[in-house]
Amino acid sequence: MFVAKQSGQAATLGFYSLSFSLENTNKLSKPEDRDAWRNGAPLLYIDYLAVQTPFQSQKLGQFMLIDALKRSHDVSRSVAFYGVALRSLNDRTTGLYTRFGFNVAPNETNHPLMILPIWSVNDLFNQA
Ligand X SMILES: CC(C)(COP(=O)(O)OP(=O)(O)OC[C@H]1O[C@@H](n2cnc3c(N)ncnc32)[C@H](O)[C@@H]1OP(=O)(O)O)[C@@H](O)C(=O)NCCC(=O)NCCS
Instruction: Give the binding site for ligand X (CB under 6 A).
Output: 49-51, 56-62, 88-90, 92-93, 95-96
| Minimum CB distance to ligand X, residue 84 (Å) | 13
Complex with ligand X: residue 37 or 85, whichever CB lies closer: 85
Q: For residue 124, with 0-12 CB atoms within 10 Å meaning exposed, 13-18 middle and 19 or more buried, which class applies?
A: middle
Q: How many other C-beta atoms lie within 10 A of the C-beta of residue 116? A: 24
H or E segment and range at residue 124: helix 118-127
* Residue of this chain nearest to ligand X (CB atom): 61
| Minimum CB distance to ligand X, residue 32 (Å) | 29
Complex with ligand X: residue 50 or 75, whichever CB lies closer: 50
Complex with ligand X: residue 4 or 75, whichever CB lies closer: 4
CB 10 within 8 A of CB 25: no
What Rg value do the Cα atoms of the chain yield, rounded? 15
| Minimum CB distance to ligand X, residue 46 (Å) | 8
